[in-house]
Amino acid sequence: MKKTILGKDLEVSAVGLGCMGFTHAYGTAMDEKEAAKAIVAALDMGYTFFDTAECYTGNRADGSLAYNEDLVGEALKPYRDKVIIATKCGVHHSPEGKLVMDSRPETIRSAVEGSLKRLQTDHIDLYYQHRIDPKVSAEEVAGVMADLIREGKILHWGISETTEEYLRKAHAVCPVTCVQNRYSMMARWYGALFPVLEELGVGYVAFSPLANGVLSGAFGKGNKFEEGDFRNMMPQYTDEAMDANRKLMDYIKGLAEEKQATPAQISLAWMICKKPYIVPIPGSRKVERIRENGGAADIELTAQEVASIDEKLDHMEMSGVFGGSAVQK
């Protein structure tokens, strides 16, 4: 798979693997051995960029708690010098499932030690502040990250779901390698950040690049997911949304036929070809889907084709799309 440079010098595969779904947000956690096989298969396909977080936990079939970082660390331990591992700090879930932000310096320092242990490594290649904490300044968070870089515990840092103002303040203290924000054909509101990223030399890692899977074209009306699967509450998965998004999906399928590709590959290639610093990180539990998503890196769309897609999207009817879990005040 071809490579992309994030920030100044972080080289990653053009498509990364979002590992969250192996344990979190999609029902019962996947069997660890089968998940590890999928991760290693992705490595064999050319993936070198693997994304996790300390808060990506879930219940196994026996009711015990599964930690995503444990899974990723164990699977990639034999290949540690061949991969880039990204993880995150600063968020935990309340008993009600809401996000609780905590980016106090002492919390970040405690979190990085826990992540290093679970990932079975002596350094984290890319460490994100998972969400902005309104109680802690950007400068204070960046200062801690600068210290961790000096100490060799992390090599690069980033911010997830950031704003321009916060990014500029943080970057002035400790250069940010990339942001990780939501981005897909159905969620383009962070496109306003692109000129800022180009000015500062910051990369963009796109999470939920397939709108939590709906842009793969693999779903229709009447979808029923197991208890605990977040898709049960996502607006893009209702029957009404499937009707509202019919024109969008027909359009993507038409593009896919022209390029001898799949709808998922077109959805990913569109953003890969839009900007040289965008890296999508779709996730899946299925090896065939991981292979399909990785194949998007081989699809070439011209600047004119990307612009044409954007123009169509600007005027395309589509449903609402999941924008993230509620935050506990």
Q: Decide if pLDDT at 258 tops 70.
A: yes
Give the count of beta carbons closer than 10 Å to the beta carbon of residue 4. Answer: 22
* Residue 90 confidence class, pLDDT cut points 50, 70, 90: very high
| pLDDT at residue 329, rounded to an integer | 66
Q: Decide if pLDDT at 115 tops 70.
A: yes
Choose between 225 and 207: higher pLDDT: 207
- Hey, what are 217's tokens? 């074209």
Span 179-189, mean pLDDT? 96
Query: Of 242, 194, 243, 234, which Cα lies nearest the Cα of 211?
Result: 234
Cβ–Cβ < 8 Å for 92, 112: no
Q: How far is CA 62 from CA 143, 224, 295, in A?
A: 42, 22, 35
List residues with catalytic annotation. 56
Q: Decide if pLDDT at 326 tops 80.
A: no
| pLDDT at residue 119, rounded to an integer | 98
Cβ–Cβ < 8 Å for 158, 204: no
pLDDT digits (tens, 9 = 90+) for 150-159: 999 999 999 9
| pLDDT at residue 324, rounded to an integer | 75
Give the count of beta carbons closer than 10 Å to the beta carbon of residue 251. Answer: 17
- Hey, what are 318's tokens? 């589509």
- Which residues in the chain belong to E strands, given as ranges? 3-6, 10-13, 17-18, 49-51, 57-59, 65-67, 84-89, 91-93, 99-101, 124-129, 154-160, 178-182, 203-207, 278-280
pLDDT over 90 percentage in the chain: 89
